[in-house]
């Protein structure tokens, strides 16, 4: 009899970093409990019901275009499902929409809230919301934060944010993101001889515009290309492709979209370096994050050049395990990359240090052990 459930208002599986996190944490939960239920979003690529050994996957399909209405429908759907599964004793959720279901079931269950971001901070980057709507969302966040038995956060910055909101520090556990060691020597068939790489989503706070402007300052490296591998669909890249055209660098950029993980790993492993040009925004500074692209680059022994923000300094040390530059400054980012291009031995040294950092501190297996420690506190 299954006794646990994992809830996520995300499409799973997908090319997004969230899917990587869902895979590792839900697998840990279901392995520890020897089975369970996974409730996620779906699309026409995957069945609405799927059984894999002791895990049953339920996918919510809704044509509702309005985000908030769709979220409410998801909450109602999950609540109905859970009410009909009385054997569940622990629920792990990663957003307030699953949390509202988990915390409103008739029979009280133990709950773990995995807070990778705050909806009230994330949504305004994507939708135009009224002050009253944002106020309501903040109320729902506090309801879920206060109601959860345990909270997991991927960075100290997020932990500090929650404490400032009045959440009891003793129920917050910091478990950073992680990575698996990547050993991929094969080069992608269409890969340039030397290239810089950005991979991940294309939200404004990712700083893609800063990267493109920085790359424009490196055009004297005639053999150098910039590869951007987006976890989003192609339509989201249109403004950045227009910017690349305006900067006269379009012919030296390559764009790929929603590549399978195995193929993405080949691109990461063979890049000269990767870039995480996070913008200096409330999303990255006030809320915080734990960029998977940094962990996955280091795990492939590839140097990372990243914005010098507190969330990044939690992971890497400047000039030792990575290269840090002030955020939102294309010229400084360009100079940092130029330095590593001019001194390949230094680039190699930093890459090797970063690889050892992952080996010693940030393997997914270690993160899973930390997560299971949280479950043991509850059950």
Q: What integer pLDDT is reported at residue 108 of this predicted model?
A: 85
pLDDT at residue 205, as a whole number = 94
Tokens, residue 69: 């209405």
Whole-number pLDDT of residue 354: 98
CA–CA distance, 344 with 44 (Å, rounded to integer) = 46
Q: Express each pLDDT in 212-261 by its tens digit.
A: 999 999 999 999 999 999 999 999 999 999 999 999 999 999 999 999 99
Give pLDDT tens digits for 16-26: 889 999 999 99
Contacts (Cβ under 8 Å, ≥6 apart) of 264: 15, 199, 229
Long-range contacts from 244-248, C-beta under 8 angstroms, 24+ separation: 244/212, 247/212, 247/213, 247/215, 247/216, 248/216, 248/219
Would you state the structure tokens that stand for residue 80, as one six-digit string? 């109905």
pLDDT of residue 37: 97
Q: Domains (ranges, CATH) in the chain?
A: 4-177+363-378 (3.40.50.2000), 194-361 (3.40.50.2000)
**In whole angstroms, what separates CA 370 from the centre of its chain?**
18
- CA triple 3-373-299, angle to 5 deg: 110
The predicted pLDDT at position 258 comes to 94
Q: What is the rounded CA–CA span in Å between residue 296 and residue 322? A: 13
Dihedral of alpha carbons 292, 296, 297, 298, sign: positive
Residues of the chain with pLDDT under 50: none
What integer pLDDT is reported at residue 379 of this predicted model? 84
């Amino acid at each position: 009899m299954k006794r646990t459930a994992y809830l996520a208002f995300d499409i799973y599986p997908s090319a997004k970093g969230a899917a990587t996190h869902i895979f590792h944490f839900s697998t840990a939960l279901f392995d520890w409990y020897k089975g369970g239920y996974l409730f996620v979003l779906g699309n026409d690529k995957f069945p609405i019901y799927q059984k894999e050994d002791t895990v049953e996957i339920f996918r919510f399909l809704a044509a509702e275009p309005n985000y908030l209405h769709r979220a409410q429908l998801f909450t109602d759907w999950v609540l109905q499902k859970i009410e009909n599964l009385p054997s569940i004793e622990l629920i792990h959720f990663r957003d307030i929409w699953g949390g509202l279901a988990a915390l409103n079931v008739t029979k009280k269950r133990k709950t773990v809230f995995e807070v990778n971001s705050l909806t009230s901070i994330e949504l305004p980057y994507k939708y135009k919301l009224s002050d009253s709507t944002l106020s309501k969302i903040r109320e729902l966040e506090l309801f879920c934060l206060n109601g959860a038995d345990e909270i997991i956060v991927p960075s100290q910055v997020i932990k500090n944010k929650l404490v400032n909101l009045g959440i009891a520090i003793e129920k917050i556990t910091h478990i950073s993101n992680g990575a698996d060691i990547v050993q991929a020597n094969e080069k992608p068939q269409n890969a340039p001889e030397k290239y810089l790489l950005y991979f991940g989503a294309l939200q404004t706070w990712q700083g893609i515009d800063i990267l493109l402007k920085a790359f424009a300052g490196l055009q004297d490296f005639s053999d150098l290309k910039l590869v951007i591998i987006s976890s989003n669909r192609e339509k989201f890249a249109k403004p950045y492709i227009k910017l690349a055209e305006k900067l006269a660098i379009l012919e030296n950029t390559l764009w790929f979209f929603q590549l399978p993980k195995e193929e993405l790993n080949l691109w990461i492993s063979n890049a000269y370096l990767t870039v995480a040009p996070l913008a200096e925004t409330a999303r990255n500074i006030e809320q915080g994050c734990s960029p998977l692209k940094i962990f996955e680059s280091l795990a492939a022994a590839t140097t990372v050049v990243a914005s010098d923000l507190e969330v990044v300094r939690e992971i890497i040390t400047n000039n030792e395990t990575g290269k840090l530059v002030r955020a939102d400054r294309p010229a400084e980012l360009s100079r940092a990359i130029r330095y590593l291009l001019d001194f390949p031995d230094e680039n190699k040294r930093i890459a090797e240090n970063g690889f050892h950092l992952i080996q010693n501190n940030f393997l997914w297996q270690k993160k899973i052990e930390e997560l299971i420690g949280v479950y043991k506190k509850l059950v």
